[in-house]
Amino acid sequence: MKRHSLARLCLQAILCPWMLAVPSSAGDFQGKKVFPGIDVSAYQGIIDFNAVRDSGVRVVYIRAGVDGRPDDYLRRNYEGARNARLNYGFYYFVTAKNEKEAREQAGQFASLLEGKRFNARPVMDFERFGDLSKEEINRIGLAFVDELQRLTGILPMVYTDSYNAETVWNRSFASYPLWLADYQGTDNPETGVWSDWQGFQYTDKGQVPGIEGPVDLNYFTPEVLLYTTERPGEYHPDAPEILRYTVRAGETLRGIARKFGVSVAALVHENHIEDPSLIYVGEVLRIPEEEETDRYFLYTVKKGDNLWNLSRKFGTTVSTLAKDNYIPNPSLIYIGDVLRIPKK
């Protein structure tokens, strides 16, 4: 992300050496409850995310792509952050020169997010403007975040530095969460049209166990997360992950359920669907991570299964299975269907 001169970084290290290390846990910064965080890309190489987590980092932002290409370490970083049970999300480095390219790059970002679970807002990182005018920058940025929100159903966050927040961005962006880069360590950073920040990047020369070389250090408020635990803003390593999926032409709810290994019932309840036979192209569905409960367990249909033999096997009735699983035709189930089976 934002890079600064060597002289400024050296001054920062002399005056504020505390800024180069990760705080040990969530705490307060500029009067806000915050979580320590980092943002990473292929530049950081191979990362030991377990060591990152153990150092006190609680939120990781991963570069998804740049200029139409996925980051070379996208898959590795995604799997590493997820396996380490960190809170994590993705950002996209925008290089668009007009609104058409901005919408195309937003579509590329949405495609890279598809099929991935995450719990922090997607981010537009648009910081290299070339010879674009202020008006062009704002139109391009707005086209990107507007298209990204349309495709994902999530309000994106905007990354920028304090100078551009004050001099470039117009009021069209005031409703989007702000991730601000300011390496001065000031208590009153310039936020421009934004009333406050939700992410604060305070150095790009941080040192974190598990990462060789420098890395950006940040603070993030609970508003960056797409959901919270019972006590809002409290870090919880076992919190559920989120996955959003955009319905395509020809798809059915049962087909989508099989694709992600969840029951139709889970999709119906998670998305408040009144008629499971009726979903729309372009509709954004939340895909839950389904777990067994004290009322039912999950069963994946195998070759040769039907509701009659399953009802006998598990001591229930065909009508109960059909009702609980939104099956319109009890004679027709498919291999790979995930069924909720009531416990005795």
147: three-class secondary structure by DSSP: helix
Catalytic residue, chosen from 48, 99, 101, 127, is: 127
Residue 227, pLDDT score: 62
Catalytic residue, chosen from 39, 216, 223, 337, is: 39
Residue 242, pLDDT score: 61
Residue 25, pLDDT score: 52
Cα 311 from Cα 34, distance rounded (Å): 51
Strand partners, 203: 217
Does the predicted TM-score (pTM) go above 0.75? no
Active site residue 28: no
pLDDT per residue over 61-112, tens digit each?
A: 999 999 889 999 999 999 999 999 899 999 999 999 999 999 999 999 999 9
Active site residue 190: no
DSSP letters, 202-257, are EEEEEB-TT-SS-EEEEEE-GGGBS---SSTT---TTPPPB-EEE--TT--HHHHH
Cα 338 from Cα 330, distance rounded (Å): 14
Q: Which amino acid is at 268?
A: V
Residue 171, pLDDT score: 96
Secondary structure element (H or E) that encloses residue 179, with its range:
strand 178-181
The residues of the chain scoring below 70 in pLDDT are: 2-27, 227-242
Region of residue 89 (phi > 0: left; psi between -120 and 50: alpha; otherwise: beta): beta
Q: Which amino acid is at 233?
A: G
pLDDT per residue over 276-303, tens digit each?
A: 999 988 888 888 888 888 899 999 999 9
DSSP letters, 165-189, are HHHT--GGGTTS-EEEE-TT--SS-
Residue 135, pLDDT score: 97
Helix/strand/coil percentages in the chain, nearest 5:
30, 25, 45
> Angle CA(29)–CA(32)–CA(33) in degrees, nearest 5?
95
